[in-house]
Amino acid sequence: MQRRAAAIYFVFFLVIGAGAYGLLQTAEEPTITMEGDAYTAGDTVTLDDREFTVASADSGSGELSWVNESAVISNTIDNGSEVPVTDVRWEDQSARMEQTFEAGSTVEYNDSEYQVSVNASAGTFTLTQADDASINESYAAGDTVNYRGNEATVTSVDSDAATIVWGGPYQLLVQTENVSDPTDAVFVEQRDIGAMVDADPALYNETITQDGIEKVTYRANDTNVPVDEYFPPVERHTISEGETLVYQGNETDIDAVSNESVELTRPGEVTNSISFSEGANFTVGDEQYFAHFQDNSSVLLEQTDERYHEYRAEENEIDSYNDRVVGLWGIAELSLLAAILLLATAYLPVRG
């Protein structure tokens, strides 16, 4: 009798579990099916009267970008800070050394002849040894090049040539002596005297100090000469409010000079970006928008107050479906477990 009842309940739980599993197999998961104009990377879209480029759209997230062509770009140079020689330029600049490698030319480079080739699209130039093409070196803007014993920086690469620059840095000093509201500052060349002496074959590799004066010594006759007399004067270049300066390759206004810093400004282009992700709101101007990905690479960008209620309604359907699926799986698993336990206990041995 016990086993017969267990068999009936076993079948009962098995039917319930099978029914739940059957519903799981036949249920169709809802999806968000909003219609609208879809955009992929590279497309343009107008939001709040501004045209954006879809910079990226991939797997639920992306980015919009737009270029502000009338932006004002500001730079601040602190009083007392060092400025690389590659950053500043003026007429008759003595501390800045420059070499141009013209495309197709043959140049003397590190004691050998090299041919110059330029890849403008990649922003690189290549030096190939004239008598052994397997020996070559490629550089891009910003790279460091060892040229004639100097550590040079590649400052530009275009279709015609590449330019490298080297030299010691400058220190920017605001002219504050006897002035409460300064308007001038000066770039003062910073020198590594030890390196300069070491690189000069006419001199011994070390300086000496006599009567508090630093001097260099000629190898030829052991004559000592003050450092300030042997080397050219330290370069000094004064700038003033209202003037212009070529800074980082751009004609720049010297907007303001204070005790703490020099403010530089120039017109330029600035790329601004806005990130978006699936279902998240983002703001453009005074309007809010949200994103919905139709697939991994195409996205709808809609105004929140116009269509977000549609999106949330379909999301709620998906949430409800997922809740029901979890419940059905629970019924199926518990029913199977109950059926197994009933069957197992029914066949336990009975005492007596």
Write out 77-111 in H/E/C secondary structure: EECCCEECCCCEECCCCCCCEEEEEECCCEEEECC
Mean pLDDT, rounded, of the chain: 87
For the chain, the residue count is 352
Q: Higher-confidence residue: 339 or 110? A: 110
pLDDT score, position 44:
95
pLDDT score, position 272:
94
Is the predicted pLDDT of residue 43 greater than 90, yes or no? yes
Is the predicted pLDDT of residue 332 greater than 70, yes or no? no
Which residues fall within 8 angstroms of residue 327, CB to CB, at 6 or more apart? Answer: none
Q: What is the mean pLDDT of residues 91-116?
A: 92
Q: What is the mean pLDDT of residues 36-44?
A: 93
pLDDT digits (tens, 9 = 90+) for 146-193: 988 888 999 999 999 999 999 989 999 999 888 889 999 999 999 989
Is the predicted pLDDT of residue 24 greater than 60, yes or no? no
Confidence at 315, pLDDT banded by 50, 70, 90: confident
pLDDT digits (tens, 9 = 90+) for 140-153: 999 999 988 888 99
Q: What is the mean pLDDT of residues 302-320?
A: 82
Is the predicted pLDDT of residue 341 greater than 80, yes or no? no
The CA distance from 208 to 210, in Å, is: 7
pLDDT score, position 323:
64
Strands (DSSP E) along 130-176, which ranges? 136-140, 144-147, 150-157, 161-166, 170-174
Answer for the pair 84, 187: CB distance below 8 angstroms, yes or no: no
Confidence at 248, pLDDT banded by 50, 70, 90: very high
pLDDT score, position 1:
47
pLDDT score, position 161:
94
132-141, 234-243, 341-350: segment of lowest average pLDDT: 341-350
Contacts of 231-237 with C-beta under 8 Å, sequence gap 24+, read: 231/191, 231/193, 231/196, 232/94, 234/188, 234/189, 234/191, 235/93, 235/94, 235/95, 235/170, 235/187, 235/188, 235/189, 236/186, 236/187, 236/188, 236/189, 237/88, 237/90, 237/93, 237/170, 237/186, 237/187
Is the predicted pLDDT of residue 340 greater than 90, yes or no? no
Is the predicted pLDDT of residue 28 greater than 90, yes or no? no
Per cent of the chain over pLDDT 90 is 61
Structure tokens at 278: 């699936």
pLDDT score, position 32:
73
Confidence at 88, pLDDT banded by 50, 70, 90: very high
